[in-house]
């Protein structure tokens, strides 16, 4: 089910300076350039439908909800500085009111070489329901997840790239320090990586009912 990279996109991704990284890919070869363009644009619509991310990830065990900068639930599509609150199976994040929080830090589209791309990037952030700026996520604030839709000739690829994945143990109480360390370094994090593999595959195949 899971595929290797067919379109090289590393040059538009953050550099992995510290910690672990991971990559998930899915792709489809279309019959001609016109169909590839249509599919590329359809994937952009799917990716910016954050309300459907739980379905792409495999169901109700994974929660993704889009909010504005103050944490108020909002409709798609995401905008720069919007936040996404998430819940994964396992212990919940006390710092984030039982959610792990990321912020939309980059949205970009364009071309490099003969590759057309659309990119959405998120990074761990604070919980808007709490005072202070402590990061409410099991990874530290410099980690990123970058979602990339790329088109080269008749091939369209969707990929998710985690970079600088370091456990978040700063400015946390003891329970949350232990929780974040365990989540980031055990099978829960491995399950998260598998989740992104499922996510890429399902987003590529998804059709509205």
**Does residue 120 register a pLDDT over 70?**
yes
Taking a C-beta distance cutoff of 8 angstroms, is the pair 168, 135 a contact?
yes
| Bridge partners, residue 147, by sequence | 120, 160
Taking a C-beta distance cutoff of 8 angstroms, is the pair 48, 75 a contact?
no
From CA 141, how far away is CA 123, in angstroms rounded?
6
| Bridge partners, residue 151, by sequence | 116, 156
Q: What percent of the chain has pLDDT over 70?
A: 86
Mean pLDDT of 14-18: 96
**Does residue 2 register a pLDDT over 80?**
no
Mean pLDDT of 109-117: 96
Mean pLDDT of 116-144: 94
What pLDDT band is residue 209 in, cutting at 50, 70 and 90?
A: very low
From CA 146, how far away is CA 120, in angstroms rounded?
6
Mean pLDDT of 130-153: 93
**Does residue 36 register a pLDDT over 50?**
yes
| Upstream peptide bond of 192 is cis (omega within 30 degrees of 0) | no
pLDDT in tens, 152-190: 999 999 999 999 998 887 765 655 555 555 565 554 454
Taking a C-beta distance cutoff of 8 angstroms, is the pair 130, 98 a contact?
no
Domains of the chain: 21-205 (3.30.530)
Mean pLDDT of 121-140: 92
**Does residue 20 register a pLDDT over 60?**
yes
What pLDDT band is residue 88 in, cutting at 50, 70 and 90?
A: confident
Interhelix angle 187-205/33-47, rounded to 10 degrees, is 130
From CA 176, how far away is CA 192, in angstroms rounded?
18
- Looking at residue 66, its pLDDT comes to 98
Mean pLDDT of 123-140: 92
What is residue 171's three-state secondary structure?
Answer: coil
- Structure pTM? 0.90
From CA 115, how far away is CA 63, in angstroms rounded?
32
- Looking at residue 23, its pLDDT comes to 92
From CA 130, how far away is CA 140, in angstroms rounded?
17
What pLDDT band is residue 64 in, cutting at 50, 70 and 90?
A: very high
């Amino acid at each position: 089910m899971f595929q290797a990279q067919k379109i090289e996109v590393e040059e538009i991704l953050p550099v992995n300076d510290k910690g672990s990284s991971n990559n998930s890919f899915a792709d489809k070869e279309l019959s001609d350039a016109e169909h590839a363009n249509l599919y590329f644009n359809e994937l952009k619509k799917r990716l910016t439908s954050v309300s459907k991310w739980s379905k792409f990830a495999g169901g109700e065990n994974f929660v993704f909800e889009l909010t504005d900068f103050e944490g108020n639930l909002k409709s798609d599509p995401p905008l720069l500085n919007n936040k996404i609150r998430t819940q994964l199976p396992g212990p919940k994040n006390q710092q984030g009111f039982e959610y792990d929080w990321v912020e939309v830090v980059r949205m970009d589209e364009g071309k490099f070489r003969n590759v057309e791309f659309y990119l959405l990037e998120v990074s761990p952030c604070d919980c808007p329901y709490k005072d202070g700026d402590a990061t409410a996520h099991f990874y530290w604030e410099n980690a990123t997840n970058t979602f990339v839709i790329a088109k080269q000739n008749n091939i369209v690829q969707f990929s998710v790239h985690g970079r600088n994945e370091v456990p978040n143990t700063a400015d946390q109480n003891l329970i949350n320090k232990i929780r974040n360390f365990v989540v980031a370094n055990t099978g829960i994090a491995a399950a998260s990586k598998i989740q992104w593999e499922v996510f890429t595959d399902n987003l590529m195949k998804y059709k509205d009912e």
